[in-house]
Amino acid sequence: TDAKIPIIPGTYKNISELAQDCHHCHRCTLGDSRTHAVVGRGHLQAPIMVIGEAPGQSEDETGLPFVGRSGQLLEKILASVNLSTERDVYIANINKCRPPQNRVPTPDEIAACKPYLLEQIRLVDPKIILLTGATAVKGITGDKQAMTKIRGQWMEWEGRLCMPIFHPSYLLRNPSKEVGKPKWLMWQDMQAVRAKLD
Ligand code: URA
C-alpha cells in the first residue's frame, strides 16, 4: 500500500478488508522486514478494545497479537475479571508490523500506521479502550506522562472511555503481587474496568 495515498476515515467496510491492505502495506519500512502484519484478534464487536505497542517475535510469526509471554499474561489478567476475547475483548496494536529487535516504533512509523488503528476503532466501536503501556497512550492520546502516574485513570478520547494500564511485559519484569506493587495496581484497574462494563 502506497504511503502517498491517504486512508480516508470510512474507507473499510469491515476488518477483513482492512486486514487485506495491512498484509500488503508499505507505508513505512517495517513492511520490508515483517513476516506477518498483525491486525487484531478477538470479538469484532467487543465492548472493550485493548491496544498494545507492536508485534514481537511470536506475533510476527503467527500473525496474531499478544500470543507470546506478554499475551499469555494478558489473557490471565482478562480472565481474572471474567473477560475473554471470545465475548468481551478485541486486541490490536499501535503498529501492525514488528520493529527490528523489538525496538519502540518511531513517531513516523506510528503515524504511518495510525489510520488503520482509527479504522479498527471505528469498526469495532468499543465502549472502553484500554491502552497498555506508554507507546499506546502516546499513540492514541498524545499524553507523555509516566505510566505510574496515569494508569487507572479514566480519560475521554474522541467520545470514548479510555484507561491507561501497565503493559503486561512490565508486569513480567515486576512479578510481586504485594499491595501497592504494579501487579496489585493492575488488579485494581481491571476491577474498575469490569465495574464500568456491568
Ligand atoms: N506486545 C505488544 O505490545 N503487542 C503484542 O502484540 C505483543 C506484545
Q: Which residues pair with 160 in a beta bridge?
A: 157
Tell me the best of 51, 169, 173 to mutate to test the pocket of ligand 1, counting ligand atoms within 8 Å of each CB and taking the most: 169
Predicted local distance difference test score (pLDDT) of residue 27:
97
Kindly list the distances between the CA atom of residue 165 and the CA atoms of 23, 123, 150, 178, in Å, as whole numbers in the listed order.
Answer: 29, 23, 8, 18
Q: Which residues contact 41 (CB under 8 A, 6 or more apart)?
A: 64, 65, 66, 85, 90, 91
Predicted local distance difference test score (pLDDT) of residue 4:
83
Task: Output the residue whose Cα is nearest ligand 1's atom 8.
Answer: 66
Q: What is the pTM of this model?
A: 0.97
Q: And the C-alpha cell for 173? A: 519484569
Predicted local distance difference test score (pLDDT) of residue 2:
82
Predicted local distance difference test score (pLDDT) of residue 3:
84
Tell me the best of 70, 72, 132 to mutate to test the pocket of ligand 1, counting ligand atoms within 8 Å of each CB and taking the most: 70
Q: Running along the chain, 198 residues long, what does each successive block of 10 average in pLDDT? A: 88 97 97 98 98 98 98 98 97 98 97 98 98 98 96 97 98 98 98 96
Predicted local distance difference test score (pLDDT) of residue 119:
98
Model ipTM? 0.92
- Supply the mean pLDDT for the chain: 97
Q: Which residues contact 8 (CB under 8 A, 6 or more apart)?
A: none
Predicted local distance difference test score (pLDDT) of residue 82:
98
